[in-house]
Structures are given as structure tokens and as C-alpha cells.
Amino acid sequence: MAFITKKDRSKERFSLLLLDLEEQYFEQHIAYNLTNRGPETNRRTNGSLKICSKSVIFEPDDAVKPILKIPLKDCSEIAAVEETAHNPFIESKPACIVIKTKQIYQIKEENVVAPYKYDRGEKKITFQLGSPIKTEDVVQILLQLHRASRLDKQSDQTAMIAAILQSRLARTRFDKNSFQNVTELPHMECEAEMVSPLVTNAGHVCITDCNLYFQPLNSYPDSVVQIGLHSVRRIYKRRHGLRPLGLEVFCTENDLCSDIYLKFYKTKDRDELYYYIATFLENHVAEHTAESYMLQWQRGHISNYQYLLHLNNLADRSVNDLSQYPVFPWVISDYSSTQLDLLNPASFRDLSKPIGALNKERLERLLERYRDMPEPRFMYGSHYSSPGYVLFYLVRVAPEHMLCLQNGRFDHADRMFNSIGETWKNCLEGGTDFKELIPEFYGSDSSFLRNLLGLDLGRRQGGGRVENVELPPWASDPDDFLQKMCLALESQYVSEHLHEWIDLIFGYKQRGSEAVASHNVFHPLTYEGGVDCDSIEDPDQKIAMLTQILEFGQTPRQLFVTPHPQRITPRFYNLSTTPSLSSSELSPVSPCMESFEDLTEESRKMAWSNMNKLVLQSCHKIHKEAVTGVAVTLSGDSIFTTSQDSTLKMFSKENGLQRSVSFSNMALSSCLMLPDDKIVVCSSWDNNVYFYSIAYGRRQDTLMGHDDAVSDICWRDDKLYTASWDSTVKVWECVAADISSNKRTQFDPLAEFEHEAGVNTLDLSPAGTLLATGTKEGTLTVWDLASPLPVNQLTCHSGKIHQVAFSPDSRHILSVGEDSCLMVTDVQTGMLIATIPAEQEQRCFCWDGNTVLSGGISGDLSVWNLLNSKVVHKIPAAHSGAVTCMWMNEQCSSIITGGLDKQIILWKPQY
């Protein structure tokens, strides 16, 4: 109902919904209807005459009298008649417009919205204009439109009306007196149509350095629509009529309805306007992608409702286009119980299956027909979303839209939206009913379930009138019903399974073999790119094809081509909320209700929340070349660093003393501290790994394990993981019972993971079961340590990957590379769910799953909020060269960075 309540025009009788679909409203004139019989004073009805492309509409000033609509195709004569007085001393009467027709629609008699009445039979209607415009000019316009309406072919009618419209637009310009400020500088002006459900309105678009304007050709419903560019929050390119001509502008973040939807006549005009606004917004609003919203949803920062709303927007769904209205799932399957149990999985619909596959018996019948069908085959003869289905649900609040769609009639009373339970049952069992729901079922306005307008929607076969929608027994009233629907959508079960429905509607199961396997195949014409209307040469065939597609329903634009990751959900959800709580406000139970967080976790959260307040503690230049690795003892007193100068250095925070050890004449690439706090392990470009005993102050062991430089190392449970430029990662088991003793250690190879290019970095998941590797060619691979085969692999960077790291919950992997991008990959599906471009190449980082502290090639330190893809804090030139390595303690309260400037710098978050 967002498109209905957008602007209250309830007192207006005329609207564009009185026109036929695709009809244009050109102009209006003050006029008098002189048709009534009786004394002259009684037969003159004051009103306004609307000239439209397919009809003439007379709206009486007296709201009791019906609006008259005269289809031009039903007219036999249109003429200007001047009544000449017989008495030479009496002035002749002004010319009148006389229309002879065989049919008149009577609409809104007594100002009541109801099915149109048809007054059939030969009629003669006379109008007298009250404006100074010449009657002959209006008649000429009507005759021209009348000729168009009487052409045999629909395509010829459409072409002629389009030519008339373009001629009118070409003769007019945007009135710059409408500018909000005289100092505004116009950027471009073009013709377009403003789109609202079922209707379009032609006019001129003008964009300046401050505002976007639309000026309707007919000055209806307003002389000009103005939107300040500073108030714009989101813009989307749209397909309209299967062509890339639409543009939708939102001035709110989460609203269903946009502030304006424009359809352009040329794609290049649409694109120019889009890029102008996008450039203006670049410094004000972050552009969100499906992947960025996915990351926010996964982490619980936006609700299921908000996420579905964003996906619909990104997939070309709009409340202004009923053929592409936002689609939401049925989530509840229980509409008969007196109590709704949202903790019972049986209360929910199986979200892994489309509506048509929920009933096994019906599915078997559909599959039997599908197997016998010639190509192109499809399983379902109707769609899950169409203009008819949307208005089926909304008829009580949008009756005029239903009358417009169905030529002035409501549907048969027994086919109306009478009962939630009946509708669900029909969707499960009906042979042609596979419809999903609309956002209003999870909103806060229940008026679409009530007959608040007192509409006469007919009587059912049992004799009862169609009034309010019958609710399930578990709902006490419509508001309670919506509240429980909201709770169901945000419930634990739906949060855990919603990704399966997204795969069907927006994802990889929408098309191809996966769609077939999931029983999710609709008519080919419903898919984006299913037909190229511009390639159809026959104009009549093109119009018929377009009409069929728009009325039948359209599948959303595909957003994901790999499995959608599951949401990260807490153990319990709060199901006892206040009646005023909206779906966007529903949230998991506060962590304090479950004692799974200890003080260490709290301190980590506090440290990360203060990461944008890093305070420099001290700087130390201790190497002759770039620092490549940092390791610190558990006490934090001793810092060990490796460098390209081939040395391992120990620095004491307590007294500032340094100790230096050299293992070879080649660079050391990284280092780590073993859990016993007694051994430092260093990797080298000389293909070896060195073990340094802190207690004995010397090298204890050497592992010669690779054919090229060892680039990175990890340690877990007496196992060493080594990455090398020889394109392998090897796993070694340390056999010695006590590696800190003065005995030589035996290293047994356990596994080897082959790559197509040199491996530059690796990381172990917190549980130690998965390994992530990044290569010189930009390939990220996730390995299950129990198997030699990769779990997931994707080339996500266009150059060398500098570092990869799992999130603390092991759900995601963050990587940075030579292409100056931060990439977030979902571990379970291998899907790249966020690509964040940086101003410069990032070399190293630490992160907590949401916030990243990274070091750049110019020496800057940056704090990123991954959920909005923004840098929230920057320390410029923290190092005088690239930041090459970074270490953070377990409590995230102490940070050390190393750089190309040969320095290590100690940092601490400020509380």
C-alpha cells in the first residue's frame, strides 16, 4: 500500500486510473455538459473536459453526478456546432462540441468507487467550453485521436498516438521559472514519463546542480515535481516494459516506495541522468550491492524483511510497477491452529521448494505434463507474481487499480481474496495457482485486510457479502495477524532457511539445470532476456508479446549465480514483543541472556569499537631493510621481528635492548611464536624454515621443505603449515615430545596441497579444520585439511594476494591484494560477498569479521566498516613507506605494525 498512501488524493475524483492501460492524458478544459433535458438552467452541468489519447472524460463539479468516459473508438461523429440565433438582436451562442457515441461509461456515481456502469445505445452529448481556447482547435485534436482509435491494427493505433505525444512534447520545453533558486545551473533536459502503478504520465525532465525536476505535460497531478539531490539516498536503473529505460529515485533508506520513477524514451538519456546523480552522490551515499547487503544480513545488522526489500530493489522490483512488484515468501504453513508455535519447524513452509513443488501429488501431475511437453518446456502455467496477484491481495485498499486492470469490473466474489487459509490451500492444491506473497503481509498497515472503504465486492455462493479477509484462528485481529507474520519472518527457522528461498527467486536455482532439479521452471518469456522485443519485426506481434509478458508476470533479475550463504543466527530469538514492534526492529535476544561471552570477549569488542582511536606508543627502527613479520611473547615484554635484511631481532620493551640473529644471507619472510612461548619460527626465501630457541639464544632446528622461497607459515596442535612460491602448501607434524628441549626435532610430512601458482599467504580457521591460501595470480582457495581436494576456489583478485584471514567465527575470509581491493568470501559457498575498492593497495590487516584495520602501500593505517564499505578512520603516513606486516594480541588491546621504512610501531586503542 506504499504507493497508495504516498500522497493523499482521496478527495480527488479524477485520476489517471480512469484511463485505459497505456493511455495518455493530454489536456483539460473548463466545460459544461448541455446534454440533460429540461429547462436550460437544469441541463447545464459544470465540470472539466479531459482530452485523452483513447477517450474523452467529463468530470462534473457536482460529486454526486457520475464521471462520464466516452471511448473514442465508440464515437461515430465528433464536430463543432455553432447555434445561430433566429432573432438578429440576440447574440449567437458559442460553438459547442457534439459527440455521437454508442457507449458511455458512468464512473463514481454518488462519489462511490464501484464497477463502471455502461450506458449503451446511440447517444448525442454536447459540451460547451468555458475557457478561451477555440472549440475548433479542441475538435481537431479529438478528430485526430479519433482517427487513431479507429485504425484496424493495434500497432498502427499505438504508433499514431505515440507520434501525437512526441509532437506535443517537442513543441514544449521545461519551464525554468519552476527552479527553486535563480542560481541553479541546468545540466540536461529531456522527455520522459513518470510511472506509477498501471499508469504513466508524459512530461519533461530537467536536472540542475541542486535538483531533479519533472514537469507533466498536462500539469497533473502537480505542475512540477521537485527532488533535492542532497536528499537522494538510493537510485536504481530499471527495466520497464522489458527495456532498459527506467530510473527510480529514493530519498529514504528503507521505504518501500520511491519518490519518483521515470521512464525515458532513450536509454542514453536514462544513463546520463543516472551517472550525473550517482556522481553527485559519490561523496554522500555509499552504493550498495547485493553482496554488501548480504554481509550486513548475515551478521544480523539488517532484518530478513529489510534484506528481502533490498534484494527486490536490486532485482528491478518496484511498487510502482505491478508487473515487477516486490515478491516475499509464504513462510507459515499452519493456518488452522488456535495457537501459532514459532518454535516448531512444522509451523513453517519448506523454503527450499517453490510453491508449485510443496504438494507432491500436484507436482507429479505437473511433471508428467512437463515431460510430454515440446521445447521450450515449463512446469508452471502461471507465475508467482503478476499485476493480477498483487491487486488480488490489495483490492480493498486499491479498488480503482483493480477496476483499471479489469476494464471497470471486480473479480467474481468467490475468486476474491476472502480468506488467508483458503488462499494458502489454493496455492498448495490449485492447478494454476503458485503465487507468493507481497511485502504488505510483513508490514504494519493491516488496512488491506479490512473493507474500510465499504466497497460492494459482491456476494459469494453461500450468500455472504465479501467484507474483511478471514484470518487464521491464531490471529485475534488483522494487526495481530501482521505482528505474528513479522515474528515468523524474523524467526530462528526462517533465518536459518531464507537463503534457500533466495536461491530459488534471486539466485542460482532460478535458471538452468539447477532450476530444473529444483522444479522451479516457469515460462521462458518470464525471464530477463527471454525475448528480445526489439528483434520482432511485426508490430502487432511485438505488442501482443509485450502485453502477454507484462500481464503474466516476470521473474526477478538474477542476483546470485552460486549458492547463497546461510545467515549467522544466535541460538534463540525473542518471540515476545510488543504489538507496536515492526519487522525491521525485530532482533535476536541480547547476548546477556546467554552466558556465552566472557570478559576476554567483552574486552575484544571494546578494543575493536575503539580501533578508530589508536594511540601511538613508541617507534623503533631496528632493521636495515623492510620488516616482514612480528611475533610477541605471551607477557608482551619481548618482540621478535623478521626482515628482508635476513635477520631475526628481539626487542625488549622493558629495557629497549636488542638481540640479532642471522640464519642465512637471504630475506626472512615471516615469523611466529609457538604456544609454549619458548620458540620463534621463521620462514626464509632460501626455502627453509628456522626454529630459534629463546632460552638458548640460538637456532635449534632447520626444516628444508620447499623448492622455492617459503612465503608464510602457521602453527596449530604440533603441526606446521608452510606456504611456498613453489606452488605448494605443506603440512608437517613435529614428532618431538618437547620441542622446547635441546633435542633435534623430527618433521614428518602429513599433506601437500598443490596450486597453479606460487602461494603468497595462508591462514588456518580458528577451529583448525580449514586452510585458506592466496596465490601470486590472485586465486583464493579453501581447503578441508582432511581432504587433498579444495572445498572452494575462486580467482577474486587481479594480482598477487598479500594476505588472507578467516573471521573469528570461520564464516568468512578477508583477502587483500595488488588490485587495491578488500574481498570478503563466504566459506560455506565460496561466494564472493563483498568487493571493497580502496584508494591504495592494502598490504596487511587484522579484522574481527566486521571491522578491519589495514596497512596501505603509502604507509597509511585505515579502519574499515565492512558493513557499509567505508573507511571510518585513517592515520595518514603512520609509516613513511608501505605497511608490510601487522600483529595484534588476543585481547586486541595491543597492535604492532612493521613497514618498508624498517620501523616497528607500537599502538594501543584509546578507551
- Calpha distance 599→260 (Å, rounded): 50
As a whole-number percent, the residues of the chain with pLDDT over 90 amount to 74
Q: According to the model, what pLDDT value does residue 570 have?
A: 60
Q: According to the model, what pLDDT value does residue 59 have?
A: 96
pLDDT band of 467, cuts 50, 70, 90:
very high
Q: According to the model, what pLDDT value does residue 647 have?
A: 96
Whether the pLDDT of residue 571 is over 60: the answer is no
The closest alpha carbon to 527, from 320, 351, 316, belongs to 316
Whether the pLDDT of residue 775 is over 90: the answer is yes
pLDDT digits (tens, 9 = 90+) for 751-772: 999 999 999 999 999 989 999 9
**Average pLDDT along the chain:** 89
For the beta sheet containing 883-888, the strands, ordered from the edge strand earlier in sequence to the opposite edge, are 614-621, 903-909, 895-899, 883-888
Q: Which residue has the cell 582457495?
A: 781
Q: According to the model, what pLDDT value does residue 583 have?
A: 35
- Calpha distance 278→467 (Å, rounded): 47
Q: Which residue has the cell 447545464?
A: 44
- Calpha distance 482→412 (Å, rounded): 26
The more confidently predicted of residues 545 and 688 is 688
In this structure, of 66-75, 652-661, 829-838, 855-864, the range with the lowest mean pLDDT score is 652-661
- Calpha distance 907→879 (Å, rounded): 12
- Calpha distance 116→66 (Å, rounded): 10
Contacts of 899 (CB under 8 A, 6+ apart): 626, 627, 855, 859, 878, 879, 880, 881, 882, 883, 884, 905
Q: According to the model, what pLDDT value does residue 584 have?
A: 37
Distance of CA 433 to the CA centre of its chain: 27
As a whole-number percent, the residues of the chain with pLDDT over 70 amount to 91
Backbone dihedral angles phi then psi of residue 186, each to the nearest 5 degrees: -70, 140
pLDDT band of 577, cuts 50, 70, 90:
very low
Mean pLDDT of 856-867: 94
The more confidently predicted of residues 162 and 289 is 162
In this structure, of 259-263, 830-834, 881-885, the range with the lowest mean pLDDT score is 830-834
Mean pLDDT of 293-321: 92
pLDDT digits (tens, 9 = 90+) for 671-694: 999 999 999 999 999 999 999 999
Q: According to the model, what pLDDT value does residue 319 have?
A: 95
Mean pLDDT of 339-365: 96
pLDDT digits (tens, 9 = 90+) for 581-619: 333 333 333 332 333 334 466 777 888 888 988 999 999
Which 8-state DSSP code applies to residue 552?
H
Cis peptide before 216 (omega within 30 of 0): no
SS3 for 397-445 is: CCHHHHHHHCCCCCCCHHHCCCEHHHHHHHHHHCCCCCCCECHHHHCCC
Q: In 3-state terms, what secondary structure has residue 496?
A: helix
pLDDT digits (tens, 9 = 90+) for 225-260: 999 999 998 899 998 888 899 999 999 877 788 899
Q: According to the model, what pLDDT value does residue 370 have?
A: 94
**Domains defined along the chain, listed by start:** 2-169 (2.30.29.30), 172-287 (2.30.29.30), 322-585 (1.10.1540.10), 631-852 (2.130.10.10)
In this structure, of 71-85, 191-205, 500-514, 729-743, the range with the lowest mean pLDDT score is 729-743
Sequence letter at residue 565? P
Q: Which range has the top average pLDDT, 70-74, 86-90, 526-530?
A: 70-74
pLDDT band of 100, cuts 50, 70, 90:
very high
Whether the pLDDT of residue 88 is over 60: the answer is no
pLDDT digits (tens, 9 = 90+) for 795-812: 999 999 999 999 999 999
Q: What is the dihedral of CA 785, 791, 796, 802, to 10 degrees?
A: 0
> Is residue 331 within 8 Å of 348, Cβ to Cβ?
yes
- Calpha distance 557→316 (Å, rounded): 6
Long-range contacts of 466-471 (CB under 8 A, 24+ apart): 466/413, 466/416, 466/418, 469/396, 469/417, 469/418, 469/419, 469/420, 470/418, 470/419, 470/420, 470/421, 470/422, 471/420
pTM (predicted TM-score): 0.84
Mean pLDDT of 365-390: 93
Distance of CA 903 to the CA centre of its chain: 45
In this structure, of 8-22, 555-569, 613-627, the range with the lowest mean pLDDT score is 8-22
- Calpha distance 907→893 (Å, rounded): 9
pLDDT digits (tens, 9 = 90+) for 55-64: 999 999 999 9
pLDDT band of 109, cuts 50, 70, 90:
very high
Mean pLDDT of 383-387: 95
CB atoms within 10 A of CB 876: 10
Q: What is the dihedral of CA 22, 24, 30, 32, to 10 degrees?
A: -40
Q: According to the model, what pLDDT value does residue 808 have?
A: 92
Q: According to the model, what pLDDT value does residue 356 have?
A: 96
Mean pLDDT of 471-478: 98
- Calpha distance 344→757 (Å, rounded): 50
pLDDT band of 134, cuts 50, 70, 90:
confident
Q: According to the model, what pLDDT value does residue 581 have?
A: 33
Whether the pLDDT of residue 93 is over 80: the answer is no
Mean pLDDT of 513-530: 91
Q: Which uninterrupted H or E stretch holds 794?
A: strand 790-795
Q: According to the model, what pLDDT value does residue 41 have?
A: 47
Distance of CA 316 to the CA centre of its chain: 9
Q: Which three cell numbers stand for residue 471?
A: 484470518
Q: Which residue has the cell 493530454?
A: 26
Is the C-alpha dihedral spanning 633, 639, 644, 647 positive or negative?
A: negative
Mean pLDDT of 533-553: 76
The more confidently predicted of residues 902 and 597 is 902
